[in-house]
Amino acid sequence: MALYLFKSQRLITNLFKRNQKVLLSLDSFTHHDHGSFSRNLRDLSSVCDDNPTLFRFQRLESTKAQLQVDDTTQEEETSEGLNFPGGYVKFTSNMEFLPDSPEKRVHCYRILDDNGDLICDNFQKVDKEVALKMYSDMVTLQVMDSIFYEAQRQGRISFYLTTNGEEAINIASAAALNISDYVFPQYREAGVLLWRGFSLQDFVNQCFGNKADNGKGRQMPIHYGSKKLNYFTVASTVATQLIHAVGAAYGLKMEGRDSCTITYFGDGGTSTADFHAALNFAAVKEVPIIFFCRNNGWAISTPVEDQFRSDGIVVRGPAYGIRSIRVDGNDALAIYNAVSTARKMAISEQRPILIEALTYRAGHHSTSDDSTKYRSAEEIIWWRTAQDPVLKFRKWVEREGWWNDQAESELKSNTRKQMLHAIQVAEGLEKSPVKDIFSDVYDTPPLNLDEQELSLREAIRRYPDDYPSSVPC
């Protein structure tokens, strides 16, 4: 009420300034005289009919929500309704509750069938060069994942997490973006960075945390980031990246830039409060952002059945006023087309778009997990064989006459060699010096940081065997 009064007072003050015809007493508002308050509002609205811009926040007009809803029946057109803030609402004498779910599940957009054959021809085809880079990067990602996974098992790095089963999501979505678009990743999107030009050596330096790592070894493995490639540093705190991405998209809008942001997240991320806050803000502020949900069926050991009762994620979009699509996450061509179109709409219409990609986390959640403890081997095998996104895309590329067995084995063996060489180089490099643990946050470090640095140096001096000799003091 206080806010309402305040707004009304401000409004009237403005009206006085701009329109001398309005003869109203502000006293009636300040003395809480509700009768004269509403009378005065009525008077005001009649004055403002002449000049609607003077009364923009009056609560008697329909606004954007109404524009987003299709009116389908002629009969309802004429029925009575209420000009409620947010949109005109029609009355009905039928007491009808909305159903908990629609009769039909939202369909899933695809271009390739399970065998990699085209099921339609009305799509934006990728040319040979792009298709080959897409396929090569998917294979490179697989080789990189398997070598890093082994390196963790051998104790050479402390942690790792693969993109197995989500290679098409990674690479095809990245291919449809522009490098000027900002990426806010969860953690299972290393392929987006690979597509943008992060080298195998860059990846290895980060996982080994040496002094050539962009983050100076201060982050856990797989928390990649690159300012140069507009890829924000990974934070494993689930879904925090969504609100950052909305803020950045708002910045792009204010600067009038021809770019959007894209944020990736899993099905598990949609159970956080940040997901809802992000979607709502993006819709209300009309910012150019693509929300890309990788619905891979699992949030560590929690299956989607225990995560939500709705028809997946896609149906949440319209509830917030966001245009949305469900896409086959194992079909690279469908992902490429959906993201490319979403990008155009996000930028040209300045609006958020939600994409739900249906896929499967074909590997363990991370090296800290054994997924056979909570899901069947048959399930994993079925997805890995019948729905393998890399194999499906390879079949299409081969049928186009752009790929063959020889090219495949050369690519795999070269990538393997490059990875092993990169690991050798990374292991030979020093770690960042101790002082780097405390730098880059404060211009002048506070006293407690100085104390911690002294204390660490003292501990290293007293117990040298407990600290790696590769970390220079």
Ligand X SMILES: Cc1ncc(C[n+]2csc(CCOP(=O)(O)OP(=O)(O)O)c2C)c(N)n1
Note whether 362 and 164 are within 8 A (CB).
yes
Rounded to whole angstroms, how far apart are CA atoms 67 and 191?
Answer: 39
The answer to whether residue 365 is catalytic is yes
User: For residues 286-305, which are near Mg ion according to CB under 5 A?
Assistant: 296, 299
Task: For residue 150, indicate whether it is catalytic.
Answer: yes
Active-site hit among 236, 271, 340, 439? 236
- CA 440 distance to own-chain centroid: 27
Judged on CB neighbours under 10 Å (0-12, 13-18, 19+), 97 is: exposed
- Report the nearest approach of ligand X to the CB of residue 298 (Å): 5
**Binding partner at 322 among Mg ion, ligand X, none, C-beta below 5 to 8 Å by kind:** none
What string of DSSP letters covers 264-307?
Answer: EEETGGGGSHHHHHHHHHHHHHT--EEEEEEE-SEETTEEGGGT
Query: Minimum CB separation from ligand X for residue 170, in Å?
Result: 11
Q: Establish whether 36 is a catalytic residue.
A: no
**How many whole angstroms from its chain centre is CA 77?**
38
Shortest CB 208 distance to Mg ion, Å:
27
Catalytic residue (one of 167, 356, 365, 432): 365
Asked whether position 116 contacts ligand X by CB under 6 A, the answer is no
Nearer to ligand X, 137 or 274 (CB): 274
Residue whose C-beta lies closest to Mg ion: 266
- The one catalytic residue in 76, 77, 150, 379 is 150
By the 10 Å C-beta count (0-12 exposed, 13-18 middle, 19+ buried), 224 is classed as: buried
Contact between 36 and ligand X by CB under 6 A: the answer reads no
In the bound complex, what is the minimum distance in angstroms from residue 469's beta carbon to Mg ion?
Answer: 40
Is residue 162 at the binding interface for Mg ion, with CB under 5 A as the rule? no
Long-range contacts of 231-236 (CB under 8 A, 24+ apart): 231/183, 231/185, 231/192, 231/193, 231/196, 231/198, 232/182, 232/183, 232/184, 232/185, 234/185, 234/186, 234/187, 236/187
Kindly tell me which residue out of 269, 288, 317, 389 binds ligand X, with binding defined by CB under 6 A: 269
Sign of CA dihedral 33, 36, 42, 43: negative
Q: Which residues pair with 323 in a beta bridge?
A: 353
Task: Compute the radius of gyration of the chain from its Cα atoms.
Answer: 28
Shortest CB 310 distance to Mg ion, Å = 16
Edge-to-edge strands of the sheet including 289-295? 182-184, 261-266, 289-295, 353-358, 323-328
| H/E run at residue 45 | helix 34-50
DSSP assigned state of 55: G
Q: How far is the CB of 270 from ligand X (least distance, A)?
A: 8
Residues 6+ apart with CB under 8 A from 449: 438, 442
What totals of helices (H) and strands (E) does the chain contain, helices first?
Answer: 17, 9
Q: Does 266 bind ligand X (CB under 6 A)?
A: yes
Q: For ligand X, give the closer residue by CB, 57 or 374.
A: 374
236 binds, among Mg ion, ligand X, none (CB under 5 to 8 A by kind): ligand X
Is 324 among the catalytic positions?
A: no
Give the residue with the Cβ less far from ligand X, 179 or 277. 277
Q: Applying CB under 6 A, does 394 fall inside the site for ligand X?
A: no
Cβ pair 249, 291 in contact under 8 A = no
Judged by beta carbon, residue 269 or residue 389, the one nearer ligand X is 269
- Verify binding: residue 329, ligand X, rule CB under 6 A: no
Q: Please identify which residue in 110, 351, 361, 392 interacts with ligand X, judged by CB under 6 A.
A: 361
Residue nearest to ligand X (CB): 266
Least CB distance to ligand X at residue 235 (A): 9
Binding to Mg ion (CB under 5 A) within 212-271 occurs at: 266-268
Site string for ligand X, 143-182 (x = CB under 6 A): ----------------------------------------
Residues 362-391 interacting with ligand X (rule: CB under 6 A): 365
Asked if 164 and 389 touch (Cβ cutoff 8 Å), the reply is: no
With CB under 6 A as the contact rule, the residue among 209, 215, 221, 268 that binds ligand X is: 268
Is residue 222 involved in binding ligand X (CB under 6 A)? no
Q: Does 331 bind ligand X (CB under 6 A)?
A: no
Name which of 297 and 317 has its Cβ closer to ligand X.
297
Strand 81-84 versus strand 182-184 pairing type: unpaired
What's the CA gap between 447 and 167, in Å, rounded? 47
The yes or no reply on residue 299 touching ligand X (CB under 6 A) is yes
Does 191 interact with ligand X (rule: CB under 6 A)? no
Determine which one of 8, 136, 226, 366 is catalytic.
366
Residues known to be catalytic: 150, 236, 365-366
Note the residues at the interface with Mg ion (CB under 5 A). Answer: 266-268, 296, 299
Binding stretches for ligand X (CB under 6 A): 188, 236-238, 265-269, 294, 296, 298-300, 361, 365
